[in-house]
Chains A and B, each alone.
Chain A
């Protein structure tokens, strides 16, 4: 495929320029004249500012996690001027919440949802990441190994994984919350923290409802139907 003719690239580029040069112009006199937008256009995503001129976004991360096609990710500079490649979890959340509480209520409002996260010994996690070559393609295995090592998926670990693999925090959180065998809290004494293996209640409920319907004993009794 790759034979080389010196100067061919330039000739190709100039040919394209020439072609475009003689094409009819498509200048639209915006804003007097507006182009049609795609039928499925749902408006642009934009974060709004409040009357103090600060972002209304609380960095709660809900939108990034809920977005089914993962088109939203939060990133940028936090309220203390520190740059975060991928934003999200409790500590920034706590900062913004506290800050906006001071702004709105004039006093700090303790936020029960905010727990500063425990410092985490990352040696084990770094070994795991090393094992998987920091490769986001092995995300599920990385998460499973992390859970095996720590018993659950600590926020600090997820953040580290995001930073090191370059995968969006939203993507990692999205995947981790999708799979029922992964967990975000330490297991209680009676629970097992083990990898896969939990039966899905939705499935047992379906099988039971199917059995009931086939045996004519569903929610409607036979007499009600007669």
Chain B
């Protein structure tokens, strides 16, 4: 079971407000406000009104990139088509981060209601919640909740007595890290190999079955009912001006590893504090933010706010929502090597930067790790990373360069082969 970290009482609770109740008890959830948002969307706001409310709330996608959700919905709603779909992305690609699954286990109704509202807003009759096939707990919790909500008339062939249809289906999928990427996820839902497609056209224009499809992270969708219930103003009052609301963060320190709901814009120092103090005698060497393709930032970032834009500028990203305190025991080059290798292994192989670029990058880091002296490597790594970013087919290979580029940017000397022991074996490792 995932460990929930205690947060200050003053922090807003938007996603985990009902986390302590029995997650699949529909009556309790309804008593606490579940499906009020859906009723507002259905009865008062209508499609355009709902999208306007989400736009007014400045909700941004929690799947990593922070794309404005209202814009995405409007694109899907206004693209001419006979059919539209909503896909809730609950894949949770990073195996070391449990943020999305925590949400789905603690409050499945928020995810389901958010998905239903998105479908109502864009005029979709079918929606899918994509989850990991190996996560039996999430599948059974969500499926039970969908069943109860359908029986109660919140979903199904006659939603809220309106005569309109809206089906939400839990779809287990399985593949590699890449499956979390939206175009890959759609491929999996279509029963094809998990490999990305060139964007644009974005899924909001041409997605599942080539129909306009909204793909949103489950946290993004779970914030939607709250926004419709409490109003966009109330939402904008939380988090930061550029990024209102809260996100779930997997905080990991040497002493603790758990999930917490954190308002966007909270100083990174406060986020790390949720994981307790570093053990006696240890100092903070770096902070790893964003998961396997995250950025390695120096301790001076502690006062920077945790939000999409600041992290991007610093060379990291919110990514899988993981924030890891790296103390002075860690060999940073080894850490970067582990991350880069994972990203390379999980790349799908469809494009050259993906198949070969990430592999070469991992090899360069591995040479650094064992202290092999190749004077051109530093330049080579920088050039290669640049080329990968410039020619990538999907964001995975772009982001896969981040551990190395951020490591070299902030901890350059650690990556200098002169500072590393000469390998015992000869240079045969080349």
A residues apposed to B, CB below 8 Å: 68-70, 136-143, 171, 174-175, 178-181, 195-200, 202-204, 206-207, 209-210, 213-220, 222, 224-225
Contacts and interface: CB of A to CB of B under 8 A. Distances in A.
Given A181-B174, A214-B254, A220-B331, A68 B292 contact: no
A204 B174 CA distance: 15
Contacts of B8: none
Q: Which of A198, A199, A206 has the most chain B CB within a 10 Å cutoff? A: A206
A180 B4 CA distance: 31
A68 B178 CA distance: 15
B421 A225 contact: yes
B200 interface: no
Interface string B327-362: 101110011001101100110111100010000000
Nearest to B139: A196
7 contacts: A137-B209, A140-B192, A175-B192, A196-B134, A202-B176, A203-B95, A210-B96
Most buried by B among A171, A175, A217: A175
Contacts of B189: 140
Given A171-B192, A174-B193, A68 B349 contact: yes
Interface of B: 95-96, 133-134, 136, 172-176, 188-195, 209, 252, 254, 292, 324, 326-327, 329-331, 334-335, 338-339, 341-342, 345-346, 348-351, 355, 369, 420-421
A220 B330 CA distance: 10
A149 B47 CA distance: 43
Contacts of B192: 139-140, 171, 174-175
A128 B252 CA distance: 47
Contacts of A181: 133, 174
Contacts of A216: 327, 329-331
B136 A197 contact: yes
* A-B CB proximity, top 9 nearest: A196-B133, A216-B329, A139-B191, A140-B191, A203-B95, A213-B335, A206-B342, A209-B338, A178-B193
A89 to B, nearest CB: 18
B191, B327, B329, B342 — most chain A CB neighbours (10 Å): B191
Given A196-B174, A213-B334, A214-B326, A68 B191 contact: no
Contacts of B350: 68-69
B338 A215 contact: no
Contacts of A215: 254, 329-330
